[in-house]
Structure 1
C-alpha cells in the first residue's frame, strides 16, 4: 500500500483534509478570484469561516471546496496587497459558483514593489518582466512554484518552454538543457551574480541543490545583451531569492511521502559513520605508508531496510521595520529522501572482427539506493537610505549530501565461456558505496544609487565558495562463474579501490554599472556602461589506493564468508597523490561594455559591445615526467549584440536579436592528465583546448492575452566554432 501524508502551511492558514466514514457531503463551492482588471489572482486564500475547509486559487484564479454541509457560511478571500473579501452565502445540496473581485489596498501594501500593476512574486509580474525585457526571457513566478509539486529548481526548469533537464542515476532532474544544447553552454546566477559549481570537473551548476521554496522567481535568458556576462552560448538562469515582504509574513511547506520502489524491493544502506573524510595520507602525512588496518570494511557492508518516510520541509519569515526602510527575510529548507533505481548498462565495441558493426562486450544490471539530504538557509536584508539609495545584503548556504549504494552484476558476452543455453557464463558481482558532500556558500552586497536625475549606478561585491568532497569512494568485486547451470565459488578480484576526492572553487567578483539618459531623441534614450572583475581559485585533491587479495585465490564460501574475513594488501601504501589530478588552478576575468537603448514609436532597439579578457591556468602540485606541470591561456574576446522589439499592440510583439558568446574550458579539462577510471570509461585532459565561440540569432513572436497568460513562438540559429565535446 502506498501512503502519502501532506501538511501545508501558507501564511497563518493551516488546512486539514479529513475523510470520515459515515459522513456524506454533496455540496461544492467553486469560483474564480480576480483583480479589478479581471486578471486572475494566483495563490489567493479562500476560507469558509465556520468550518475547517479552505482552498488556494490555481494558475487561472479558480478554486474548489468540496464536501460542504448544507447551511449558511461566511466566505473570506485574502490576498497580499488587496482588501479582504467577505460575503455570506447559503449552500444546499449541489454546486454553487462564486466570482470574487479583489481591490488593491494601498494602506495595506505600503511600499509594495510593483512592476506595472504586478505585485512582486505574482504571475502578472512574471509576464510583465518577460514583456519589458531587452532580451528573450522566460520567468517562473513564486506563485507558480508554490502551486507546483516541484521541490528543487531543477524540477522547475522542465516547465519552461525550450528547456529540458538532464537526470541523475536516480532519475531526478539535475542539470538544465537550454534549447537542446549541452549543459556546459549555460550559466547560473543568484540575484544576478554568477556562482561557482561544486561539480568536481565542470563549470555548470547542479540545480538540484537549490530548494524551490526559497525563490521569488526564476529568470531564464535565452539571449544576451552587452551588460550580461558573455560565456553563455545557450543562455543563463538567474535565481532571484525571496526578499522581505511589505508586511509580516510566514510561509511554510511540510510533506511526508514514500517511494514505491522502496516498498517493493527495500532500500540498501551502509554504515556512513565509519567514512573518514580524510585519506590516510591526509591524516598521517605525505610520507606515511598506509596499512590495511587504516581502511574500514564497514562501509562495504550493506543492509536492506525499510526506510523512514521521506520528509520535505521549508519556511520563510520576513517583515519590514524602521518605517519600512529595513526589510529582513530569513528562510530555511530541509529535504531527506530515499531514491531507488534499477538500470542496465551496455559496453559495446565497434569493428571487433574487422567490420564496422557494433558488438556487445558486456552488460551490467544495476540496483542503486541513494539517501539524499538537502540543507539550505538564506538571509536577505535591504535598507533604503532616503529615496535615492538602496543597499541589499544576501547570505546563502546550500548543501547536498548523497549516500549511494550500488550493486552491479556484470556479464561478459564476448568470449567462448558465454553459452547461456547450456548454463555457462562469466560474470562479476560488484558493490560500490559513495558518500558525496556538496556545498555552495555565497554572500553579496549590492547598492543602487541615483547620482542625478539622469545618472544611476549599481554595484555589487560578492564572495562565493563551492566545495565537493567525495571521501572513501569504495568498491569490492567478486569474479563469478556459472558452469552447466551450477554456481562456482567466486574469487575476490584484484585492484579493488578506495578513492578520496576534494575540490573547492573560490570566487570573488566586483561589478560596477552605470545608466545615463542624455535626453537625445526622447527622454527614454539610455546609455549603459560598466564592467566587472572576477578572481577564481580552484584546488583539487585526488588520492586512490588499490588492493589485491592475499593470497589471490580466496574463494567465497570456502576461504571467507564475510568481507572482514578477506585478507588484502595495499598495492600503493602512499596512494597516488603524485597523480596529475592534484592541481591548483586560477582564472581572472576583466570585462567592460557599452550599450545603447532607443525607443522610437512602437520599436525598441538595443545594441552594444562587450570585451572580456581571460587569463586561465593551472599548476600541478607534484609534477610528473611526461605531463605538463603548468599551462596558461590568455585571450581577449569582443562580443557584439543587438536586438529589436516591435510592438504590434500593447499585448503583442515581435523581437529579433543577435549576440556573440563564448564557452570557456573547465578547469579540469585543460589539466594534462590521463585517468584510468574505476567506473566505466577512461579520460584525459587537453592543455591546448580552445574556448568555443558562438554566433546566435533569435526571433520570437509574443502574445500576452491576459496578465498571467502567454503565447510564444520562436526560432533560433547558432553557429559554434571550436565546440567543446567529450570524445
Structure 2
C-alpha cells in the first residue's frame, strides 16, 4: 500500500506541476517535415518533430528563450520567444532550402524530399534505425511491402515464384525478424508456419513510412533477434490530398498483361479537428514460372545417396490479384488530446494452375500431375487509440487493436473437402531410362562412379525403347489428392504507455501490453486411389488421360527457354480445370471405383493454440551532456501458450488427444548510447537482449504425411522446443551531408542460444522409407558482421552530370552454430551457418534526377545461405539457397506539379532463384525462372 501511495503522489506531482511548454509544427513549401531537430539554445534540451511534423517542449522556465531548427538540406532557423506559463503555440514554422542548386533538387526531383525525411528520422531516432518514406517507395518498381523494404541496408528478402514475400534483417532466419504495423506485431498465417507475416498481401501504396530497427529500445516488441520492421500506415494529412494513379504492363513469360491502380484521399473538417484518410489499391497481373526440381536418393547409402530419384520439370501459369483499403480517422480535441481509429483490409489471391512432368528413374516411369488452386491470404482489422498530454510533465498514450490474418485454399467446388486438388497420372516404360552409371542408377556426371551421367540443366531419359515417349494414351490416373490448407491467427492487443518529463535532462517511459492470440492450422492430405491400384478384383480399368477433357499446354513452345528448352519432351496435353473439378464428384468416384485411403496421421494435421503474452517495460532517456544521450531500461515478456492437437502411433494406428503447455519468461535488459560528434554526425552503441518464440507448427505435436513426392515425407512438431535468446552488441556511426546524403557503417555481434533448426532423417515405417522432418534446438551459435552504406548526390558537378547520384549499401554477416551429429555411436559437433543466413547482402542504386526527369537502376543481392540442416547425413546433404542478384529499373517524368508519368521494369537480367545440395552448386535441388515484367502509367495529384 505504501508503494502505491508513493506512486500516486509521484504521478499527481507530474500531472499538475505547471511550467511553460512549447508546441508547433515545421513545414516547407510542399508539406510538413518529420525528423526536424529542435534545440533550445544555450541548453542541452532538444527534440525532433514526429512523423506529422509536430514537436513539443515541456517543463520550461518562463521568460525569453530561443529555439534552433535544423533539417538536412535546409538553412538553420532561429526563433526567439517570450515564454509564458502554460502552453505557447508557435503554429507552423516554414523552412527554406540552403541554396538555389539544392532548391532545384528539392522542388523538381522525385526522390530528394523523401530522402530528407528518411535521413532526418534516422538521425534523431533513439534506436539504431533505417527509414524509407512512401514517396521513395513509389519511385521504385516495388508493388508490395516486402519488395519495398529490400532496398534498405541490411535487409534481404525471399522470393516466392518471382515476387518477394518475406523480409529478414542482417541475414538472420526470416522468423527472427519482427513485423509490425503501427508498432504492434501483426499476426501471421504463413503457409510456411512461421511467425513473421507474409508481406505480399500488403500493397506498397498502404505504407507511409517503413522503420527498420536493428537495435531496439525497451518500448518495442522484444521478439526481434534480427531486427524489427515497422510499417507505419498512412494517416490524415494536414491539408486536403487527392491523388490517383494507374498503370498497365506485361509479363514476358506468361505473355499476358497486368494492371494496377491506386487512390489516396485525405482531408480535415470542423476547423481541422477531424482528419480522414483513405488509401486503396489494386494490382492485377498474370504470371508464370518454370521450375526444375531434382530429388536425390538420400535414403540410400554411400555415393548412391547422390543418385537421382526423380526430375520434375514444372510450369506455373496463373493470375494474382493484390488489393487493399486503409482508412483512418483522428480527432484533435485540442493540441494536448487526440484520439484516432484505423482500419485495414488487404487481400492477396493467387490463382495457380501447375503442370508437373517427372522422370522417375527408380520407378522406371513418367509421372504427370495437374493442380489448380486459389490461394487466399487476407489481413483485416482495426485499432483505436489516443494521445493525451495530461500536463507539461506527463503524457499518456493508449491503443487497442484487433487483427486477423488468414490463409486458405478454396478449390475445388462441389466436393466435401475444399483445398488444393491434384490429379496424378503414371506411365510405366516398356524399356528403361538410359545413360545410367555402372551401378544402374541415374547420376549427374560429376557424381557418377564411372563418369556416366547428365548435366544438371539437361537431364535426358536416353530411352532404350523408342516407343517410351510421354503419351496421353499411356498416362493412367493413379491417385487424386486434396490438401486441406487453412492457417489463421487472431490477435487482440491492448497497451498503455506513460511518458514522464522529470526535468530538462531526464525522461522516463513505462508501459504495458497484453496480447491474446488464437491460432488455428490445418494441412490435411486426403488421398483417393482407383480400385485397381488397391488390387480390388474386377475393378474398373485405369482412366487414360486421353479419355478426358483436355486443354492446350500453356506456351509449350517457350518451356525453359533460358537453358535451351531441354525438357520439351516432358510437355504433355493436360486435363482441363473443369475436368480436375469433375474428378471430385460422387459420380466419378462410383463409376471408376475411386476409394479414399485415409492416412494414419490425418487426425494429427490440425492444431489449435492460445497464446497470452503480458509485457511491461521501463526506460529512461538521459541527456548527460548536450552531445551525449543515454537510453537504458528493460522489457519483460511472460508467455503462456496452450496447444491442442492429436498424436498418432503410425505402426499401431492409434490416435489420442494431446494438450501441451509452454510457459516462459523473457527478461530483456537494453542500453543505448548516442553521441553527436557534430550536428551532422553521430556515434551509436547498444547492448540489447532479444528473443524469438518457436513457431506454432514447430511446437505442435501433429504430424503430416506427403505421399505426392517421389520420396514420401513426414513432417512433425516438437512441443519441447525452447525460445531462442540473443545478446546483441552494436556500434554504428553516421555522417549526414548537406546536399541530402549520408554515409554510415558499423559492426555488430550476437551471442545466441537455443537456435531452432529443421532436422531431416530417414525412417522406415511398414516397409516404406520416409524422410522425417522435425524441429530441434541447438545449443550455441553466434553471428558477427559489419555494414556500410552511402547515399551521395553529385549536384556540384557541372551541367548534365549534376543530376547523378548513388545509393550503395553492403552487409557482411558470418554466423556459426554447433550441430551435434551421431557418427559410429559417438556425438560429433559440426559447425554450420545459421539457417537462412546470408554472408553477403547489398543494394546498389544509380539514379539521375534533373529537370523533372528521374531514372533509377536498382540492384539487390542476397548471397547463398543454408536452408535445411541434415543432422543425420551431415554437411554434404545440407540444402543451400543460391546467390541471387536482381536488377530493376524505374523512370518517371514530372509533366507538371500535379502530373507524373512513370515506367517500371523488374528482373531485367531474368535472374533465377535456386537451391542446391552440399558444397556443389551444380547439385541442383530446385531452380526457378520468372523472366521480365514491367508496366507504365501515370499519377495525378488533384489536390
- Tell me whether the two structures share a fold, i.e. TM-score over 0.5: yes
Instruction: Label 1:430 to 1:390 Cα distance change in 2 as closer, same or farther (>3 A).
Output: same
The equivalent of 2:622 in structure 1 is 598
The answer as to 2:421 corresponding to 1:474 is yes
Shift of 1:481: 4.2
Kept after mapping to 2: 8 A contact 1:542/1:579: no
Q: Distance in 2 between matches of 1:34 and 1:213?
A: 20
1:582-620, CA deviations, whole angstroms, 9 ceiling, x for partnerless residues? 232100000111111111221111111111100012113
Q: Distance in 2 between matches of 1:146 and 1:560?
A: 48
Q: Distance in 2 between matches of 1:310 and 1:325?
A: 41
Shift of 1:60: 11
The answer as to 2:317 corresponding to 1:387 is no
Matches within 5 A, 1:37-186: 122-168=114-160, 170-186=161-177
Q: TM-score, normalised by structure 1?
A: 0.73
Shift of 1:224: 1.2
Instruction: Label 1:187 to 1:100 Cα distance change in 2 as closer, same or farther (>3 A).
Output: closer
Match of 2:385 among 446, 462, 467: 446
The equivalent of 2:603 in structure 1 is 579
The equivalent of 1:676 in structure 2 is 705
The answer as to 2:705 corresponding to 1:653 is no
1:209-267, CA deviations, whole angstroms, 9 ceiling, x for partnerless residues? 1111121111111111111111111111111111122221111221101111122xxxx
The answer as to 2:536 corresponding to 1:549 is no
Aligned CA-pair RMSD: 3.3
Q: Distance in 2 between matches of 1:587 and 1:660?
A: 22
Which shows bigger deviation, 342-351 or 388-397? 342-351
Shift of 1:99: 7.8
Match of 2:265 among 317, 320, 326: 317
Shift of 1:325: 1.2
The answer as to 2:181 corresponding to 1:190 is yes
SS of equivalent to 2:726: strand
Shift of 1:207: 1.1
Q: Distance in 2 between matches of 1:706 and 1:140?
A: 19
Q: Distance in 2 between matches of 1:715 and 1:492?
A: 60
Q: Distance in 1 between matches of 2:657 and 2:409?
A: 26
Kept after mapping to 2: 8 A contact 1:82/1:102: no
The equivalent of 2:57 in structure 1 is none
Shift of 1:165: 0.7
Which shows bigger deviation, 558-567 or 215-224? 558-567
Instruction: Label 1:455 to 1:679 Cα distance change in 2 as closer, same or farther (>3 A).
Output: farther
SS of equivalent to 1:129: helix
1:599-652, CA deviations, whole angstroms, 9 ceiling, x for partnerless residues? 122111111111110001211379884556110101111111111111111111
The equivalent of 1:215 in structure 2 is 207
1:274-294, CA deviations, whole angstroms, 9 ceiling, x for partnerless residues? xxxxxxxxxxxxxxxxxxxxx
Shift of 1:142: 1.6
Q: Distance in 2 between matches of 1:664 and 1:374?
A: 30
Match of 1:225 among 210, 213, 217: 217
Aligned pair count reads: 574
Which shows bigger deviation, 360-369 or 568-577? 568-577
SS of equivalent to 1:130: helix
Kept after mapping to 1: 8 A contact 2:646/2:701: no
The equivalent of 2:492 in structure 1 is 508
Kept after mapping to 1: 8 A contact 2:687/2:728: yes
The equivalent of 2:639 in structure 1 is 614
1:545-592, CA deviations, whole angstroms, 9 ceiling, x for partnerless residues? 322124445263676676569754443388989622223210000011
Q: Distance in 2 between matches of 1:560 and 1:466?
A: 39
Kept after mapping to 1: 8 A contact 2:132/2:210: yes
Which shows bigger deviation, 200-209 or 679-688? 679-688
The equivalent of 1:413 in structure 2 is 361
Q: Distance in 2 between matches of 1:596 and 1:537?
A: 34
Shift of 1:199: 1.5
Q: TM-score, normalised by structure 2?
A: 0.57
Instruction: Label 1:100 to 1:530 Cα distance change in 2 as closer, same or farther (>3 A).
Output: closer
Structure 1 unaligned residues grouped into runs of 5+: 1-32, 40-58, 62-79, 86-96, 105-118, 264-306, 418-425
Q: Distance in 1 between matches of 2:718 and 2:190?
A: 19
Q: Distance in 2 between matches of 1:254 and 1:100?
A: 29
Matches within 5 A, 1:260-271: 260-263=252-255
Instruction: Label 1:102 to 1:155 Cα distance change in 2 as closer, same or farther (>3 A).
Output: closer
Shift of 1:456: 0.9
Q: Distance in 2 between matches of 1:235 and 1:338?
A: 34
Relative contact order, CA 8 A, sep 6+: which one is greater?
2
The equivalent of 2:292 in structure 1 is 344
1:495-522, CA deviations, whole angstroms, 9 ceiling, x for partnerless residues? 4201222232111101111111212xxx
The equivalent of 2:280 in structure 1 is 332
Q: Distance in 1 between matches of 2:275 and 2:708?
A: 50
The equivalent of 2:932 in structure 1 is none
Match of 2:368 among 423, 429, 451: 429
Kept after mapping to 2: 8 A contact 1:547/1:568: no
Q: Distance in 2 between matches of 1:231 and 1:162?
A: 18
Shift of 1:697: 1.2
Kept after mapping to 2: 8 A contact 1:547/1:571: yes
SS of equivalent to 1:723: strand
Q: Distance in 2 between matches of 1:528 and 1:330?
A: 32
SS of equivalent to 1:669: helix
The equivalent of 1:69 in structure 2 is none
Shift of 1:390: 1.0
Kept after mapping to 2: 8 A contact 1:127/1:139: yes
Kept after mapping to 2: 8 A contact 1:439/1:466: yes
